Amino acid sequence: MDVHSWSRPDLIRVRHLELDLDVHFDRKILDGSVTLRFEPTAEPELVLDTRDLEIHSVENAAGFELGARDAVLGSPLRIALRAGASWVRVRYATGPAASGLQWLDAAQTAGKRHPFLYTQSQAIHARSWIPLQDTPSVRVTFQGRVRAPQGLQAVMAAERAGEHFRMQHPVPSYLIALAVGELEFRSLSERSGVFAEPVLVDAAAREFADTEAMMRAVEEMYGPYRWGRYDLLVLPPSFPYGGMENPCLTFATPTILAGDKSLVALVAHELAHSWSGNLVTNATWSDFWLNEGFTVYLERRILEKVYGPAREQMEATLGRRELDREMASLPVSDRVLHLPLEGRDPDEGCTLVPYEKGALLLRTIEREVGREKFDIFLRSYFDHFAFQSITTADFLEYLRRELPNPVPLADWIFQPGVPGAAADPHSDAFSRIEAEASRWQRGQSIETARWSTQEWLHFLRILEQPDLARLDREFHFSQSGNSEILHQWLLMSVRAQYEPAFPALERFLGSVGRRKFLKPIYTELLKTPEGRARAQRIYRHARPAYHPIAQATLDALIAPAS
């Protein structure tokens, strides 16, 4: 049972959806219908998840009732079925504040000429734009028909088939996605390409030029890419995530367009989800680490193959350090892989623990059994569970059967923290940075011309009470065009109350909506009374441009000004 859904897939399982939607930018609503198909059933009732939907009618049903709204789950839509029914059609419209939709005015786009709409269904937001069984344990095939205003292009995370979109593989609801805007396309290879606003599309194509090489790298290790095309869509900067692995069409933040491919680990990550997550899916949000831990492990293997071991070692070392830092601030009960999410919004369970601790577990098993055996295991795991949703228990049973290993799995999964015998990433490049950092802290000048983004990040993170004015004077961090470096710099500036960086801080918070950047900076600001006042003032202005999901996170963090 999935505690984050009202639906009862144990009684009826929806197998196919037909979506038919009109996009109204003037009223900020989607309006249309969804037809849900299932095996003919004698069950009296089909329960769907909804949140803030306006239900107009249900066809081929004996009646319907919308239940009370739960703050986390939304409202159950209880549909009384006719005997032997195998479909119903719900006519509905979305609410103006749907949690899974962001409606952007032209001014919030790069091109400034046309409005933009995109969906974000993970974890449980699909229900705010489609009434359905919103649990990752249910998979559906679907067809979509979307009518957008003249001059704007609609794209769905699916195959384009004439007037329609079509997904012929069964997918969980959190992977259903739509975007509408002024989009242009650039081809990257026979089977991949990028959509973006016209002013960004060439830069995006340059940044993502290695996509085909990454696809081949995973295919060599874990078997063919099974989804046909792999395209990317660059969203406006308010996108609350770095990336979202919508099948056939990864959604990505423009903040990874650094100009030098230094942040494309994100592409490797979202691509890897085509195996870990989209092919083999967590059955509940407590099993989220099966999606993300496996994906970070695969992401690093791709980086190693495409960019070499040194790059992989740096990313893995950064990951381990950030995990330790974040874990120290989490309640002990959230330092486990199998997350306790009962009564909570699964978005809030999204810390680095399922990502980095999950990846460390796989790396530790790899170390114990050897890479060759582990790769054979992973490949058979993806084949064995392809297009299924599985629990942590399913994984453990399969692992114990197929790949005996000495790793204390129960400790890893159910106990807090990282076991002492974990694999321990190391980077020689970072050892050199550490030596340079101490030279710099002794007042000497250092040669940084060839440093990578990862080396800069490590440098900034290991400095102890550095002189920020000197850092900015020598290295111009406040003007950095690299979002990760700028974010790290701004975080340090807030911590040290380094006023000269605050104009850059305000610009950043006012233009970027990525939750991973916003949450740490606002959290740091809130630690002092002056910082709190500043946070409240900045947030008041910036909030309308943030995504509902980022708003929810920050509303909970930043108490309204008293």
What is the contact surface with ligand BES in residues (CB under 6 A)? 122-123, 241-245, 265-266, 269-270, 273, 292, 347, 350, 355, 516
Residues classed as catalytic: 270, 355
Query: Which one of ligand BES, Zn ion, none is in contact with 122 (Cβ closer than 5 to 8 A by kind)?
Result: ligand BES
C-alpha 428/C-alpha 278 separation (Å) is 35
Compare residues 79 and 123 and give the one whose CB is closer to ligand BES.
Answer: 123
Task: Residue count of the chain, please give it.
Answer: 562
Query: Which one of ligand BES, Zn ion, none is in contact with 334 (Cβ closer than 5 to 8 A by kind)?
Result: none
Q: How far apart are the first and last CA of the chain?
A: 42
Tokens of 133: 């069984």
Closest CA to 346 of 8, 1, 2, 4: 4
Compare residues 32 and 293 and give the one whose CB is closer to ligand BES.
Answer: 293
User: Strand order of the sheet with strand 87-93?
Assistant: 54-59, 87-93, 29-38, 14-24, 139-147, 164-172, 159-161
Compare residues 79 and 266 and give the one whose CB is closer to ligand BES.
Answer: 266
Burial 380-405 (b: 16+ CB within 10 A, else e): ebbeebeeebbbbebbeebbeeebeb
Closest CA to 19 of 145, 138, 128, 163: 145
Compare residues 292 and 304 and give the one whose CB is closer to Zn ion.
Answer: 292
Compare residues 169 and 269 and give the one whose CB is closer to ligand BES.
Answer: 269
Compare residues 12 and 234 and give the one whose CB is closer to ligand BES.
Answer: 234
Q: Nearest residue by C-beta to ligand BES?
A: 242
Instruction: Tell me how far apart the 2 most distant CA atoms of the chain are, in Å.
Output: 82
Residue 209 carries which DSSP code? Answer: T
Q: Which residues make beta-bridge pairs with 561? A: none
Find the shortest distance in angstroms from Cβ 124 to ligand BES. 9
Closest CA to 502 of 475, 474, 524: 524
3-state secondary structure 99-123: CCEEEECHHHCCCCCCCEEEECCCC
Query: Which one of ligand BES, Zn ion, none is in contact with 266 (Cβ closer than 5 to 8 A by kind)?
Result: ligand BES
Query: Cβ distance 368 to 405 under 8 Å?
Result: yes
Query: Which one of ligand BES, Zn ion, none is in contact with 339 (Cβ closer than 5 to 8 A by kind)?
Result: none
Number of Cβ within 10 Å of residue 439's Cβ equals 13
Query: Which one of Zn ion, ligand BES, none is in contact with 347 (Cβ closer than 5 to 8 A by kind)?
Result: ligand BES
Find the shortest distance in angstroms from Cβ 352 to Zn ion. 11
Tokens of 241: 């995530």
Q: x/- site string to Zn ion, residues 255 to 294, per CB under 5 A?
A: -------------------------------------x--
Residue 279 carries which DSSP code? Answer: T
Query: Which one of Zn ion, ligand BES, none is in contact with 516 (Cβ closer than 5 to 8 A by kind)?
Result: ligand BES
Summarize as ranges the residues that interact with Zn ion (CB under 5 A): 292, 295
